Amino acid sequence: MTATTPPPQRLVEMTGIRKSFGGVAALNGIDLHVDTGEIVALLGDNGAGKSTLIKMLSGIGRPDSGSIRIRGKELGLRSARDAIDAGIETIYQGSALVDELSVSRNLFLGREPQKRLLGFLPRLDKQTMDKQSKALLKEMGLHRDVDPSSSIAKMSGGERQSIAIARAMQFEADLIILDEPTNNLGVEETWRVLQFIRDAKAAGKSSIFITHNIFHVFQVVDRAVILRRGEVVADLTIADTTIEEVERLITGTTTPV
């Protein structure tokens, strides 16, 4: 018996996505697909529409028109919870952490483990949360010994970003969206994020990776979709292109950069 690799399956299919803000078109009819186990880079200059597009997938924004299919099924994502339930996990640009809450509460936001004592309402299982948080932070390579019950407000930009990533890592998602995840990170933390994307692929998961670092793109992704002023200007297999070509397409220049 010979082992055969199953054909890639379409996980996400976005078609004709349009979005305007006060009459200004941010997305001008975008088509984007992601297959199972595929890492797709979403590239483009500042304001090209990258974050706006992925917010439609993570349930934060609604398109004016267009359709979003996940595993072939039309999805009306109305909230971040709907997206999570559909197997989509997002690490937002600038990481959405809650200053008022502890490190471990931020790690479990919305999905806190609960314990139910006989005859009582379910209560937060703080002990389990702190224990799991400590293990996660260690896995993320946070050097200093962070107390999971301390406030997130006391952490540096890079530490906060590591916590946002650790949060996404612990849940079983089919699609992981990373919007500029390596901003603010040190060398080792950056390496861990890239390795996390590779590991996710090895486990059969898909990723959409937004970054301005072209070298990271060539290190991890399979395909690059390039946006310019709300339109897709190229959809390239990384193995068939060069850094120079991708840079030219991002900036829209015809002469070498």
Binding site residues, Mg ion, CB under 5 A: 50-51, 93
Distance CA 10, CA 34 (A): 6
Q: Cβ atoms within 10 A of the Cβ of 66, count?
A: 16
In 3D space, the residue among 189, 168, 195 whose CA is nearest the CA of residue 179 turns out to be 168
Q: Given the rule CB under 6 A, which residues bind ligand ATP? A: 21, 26, 44, 46-52, 93
Closer to Mg ion at the Cβ: 37 or 49? 49
Give the residue nearest to Mg ion (CB). 51
Closer to ligand ATP at the Cβ: 91 or 142? 91
Tell me which residue has tokens 């088509």. Answer: 31
Closer to Mg ion at the Cβ: 59 or 148? 59
Q: How far is the CB of 235 from ligand ATP (least distance, A)?
A: 16
Distance CA 173, CA 53 (A): 19
Token pair of 8 as six digits: 């890639």
Q: How far is the CB of 149 from ligand ATP (least distance, A)?
A: 33
Among ligand ATP, Mg ion, none, what does residue 48 contact (CB within 5–8 Å per kind)?
Answer: ligand ATP
Q: How far is the CB of 210 from Mg ion (least distance, A)?
A: 6
Closer to ligand ATP at the Cβ: 24 or 121? 24
Closer to ligand ATP at the Cβ: 60 or 236? 60
Among ligand ATP, Mg ion, none, what does residue 44 contact (CB within 5–8 Å per kind)?
Answer: ligand ATP
Q: How far is the CB of 159 from ligand ATP (least distance, A)?
A: 22
Q: How far is the CB of 161 from ligand ATP (least distance, A)?
A: 15
Among Mg ion, ligand ATP, none, what does residue 47 contact (CB within 5–8 Å per kind)?
Answer: ligand ATP
Closer to Mg ion at the Cβ: 57 or 107? 57
Using the CB atoms, write b or e for 131-155: b if 16+ within 10 Å. ebbbebbeebebeeebebeeebeeb
Distance CA 224, CA 241 (A): 10
Among ligand ATP, Mg ion, none, what does residue 37 contact (CB within 5–8 Å per kind)?
Answer: none
Among ligand ATP, Mg ion, none, what does residue 254 contact (CB within 5–8 Å per kind)?
Answer: none
Q: How far is the CB of 50 from Mg ion (least distance, A)?
A: 5
Q: How far is the CB of 45 from ligand ATP (least distance, A)?
A: 7
Token pair of 98 as six digits: 């809650």
Among Mg ion, ligand ATP, none, what does residue 26 contact (CB within 5–8 Å per kind)?
Answer: ligand ATP
